[in-house]
Structure 1
Amino acid sequence: MNLWVEKGIWEPDIFKQKGTKKSYPKGTCLFMEHQPISDVYFILAGRIRAYLLSPTGEERHLFVVGSKSIIGECNVWSVESYTYSAAASTDIEVIRIPRTLFQETVRETPGLFERALQSMSQKQNALLVQTQLMSFSKIEERVMFVLVQLAETFGLSSGDCIFITIPFTHQELSQVVGASRVSVSNVMLSLQERGIVSKVNKQYLIHSMDALKLLT
């Protein structure tokens, strides 16, 4: 499971008549853990990150989802409150679907139960990967693991090099790996100095996937 899903498995036509189209700026919190479940969100554009929040305000990242993904669906049939928080990593455009309408749509539309189960399974697998990374890996290994995932999922090969086609910031990467932005920047600088990656604007070129995988 990729911790960063840029494009999901859902189609907007299913929900266009069921919900309300909304736009939110980067940083907007869509819902908080323990808040009563009111809506499920279909992402039309942008990215949303899921995370846990400690009583002292410390965040623990879970996963990132992009267009054609949904978020907030995992517990609509089992509990009354969200079990994680979700916020916009970029400016986003979404369809906000009330919980009961989402449930009715999934029940009434052939094939949607399977798609809902697939979506929830992806998120469950992401949580298992995050648990393993946070329990057994150093910051450097976590950063390189995510870079490999991004390259394999969104990479464009050119000879021995792979260009990661989606732009991202050190802040976004730090949220994914559960470390400070400064720590992630230091790791990325080290990889650049060793000639393993180079930066092109907000995108990265990996010069040797074999070398990067060897380090992880």
Structure 2
Amino acid sequence: MPFAASLPPLSIAAAVTPLSALLLLAAYAIGSLSGSLLLGKLRGVDIRQQGSGNAGGTNALRTQGLRFALGVVVIDIGKGALAAWLALRYAPVGADWTVTAHGYLAAFAAVLGHVWPIWHGFRGGKGAATLIGSLLVLWPFAVPVLVVIWGAVIIASGYVGLATVIAALSLPLLGWFTDAGAPRLWFSAAAAALIVFTHRGNLARLRAGTESRFARARLLHRWRRG
């Protein structure tokens, strides 16, 4: 059975309470706080004008160094976790959406905010770190699985973008195989689709053979040559 056909129904058209709307708007606003752009202002740089032009951790590492990139990743993971936690903590009980559904909707809103940040001209990053942050709160079991898949692809290929896409695509499969509920399955499918979309440039460069590698991470290639 196709994965999409197996998704249980989830009523997004259910009545939205004012508190639910406020939580989703807050999640989007929190997600819009870009770690690389906030830290870049302190350094007097805009990394969207350097390297790949992406306001994410990988470009931060390549253009600004490890310490800067670590700060970016901490902020971007933290805001995903915060948005999900706030939604779970303050979701209205007895509303048409369950508390769990609030958490996943807020997490997706935070990822959307990271990709299209209202505070930074709607030009942000690709959403992976913020997605991981939300999963640490909502589905912590999935995080080590994604990290292992991501790391294995990087070691084998050296392509960070490819590793991120494959890890994201494994998320709905993980939800399906573990009989996850409707909010988790729909979130997994939507998040995977968004990550593929934000990495469309990486995939196009892979097809063209022009994608940049992290050569130092390509351990299998080194072992074979050794």
- TM-score, with normalisation over the residues of structure 2? 0.28
Is the strand fraction higher in 1 or 2? 1
TM-score using structure 1 length: 0.29
Greater helix content? 2
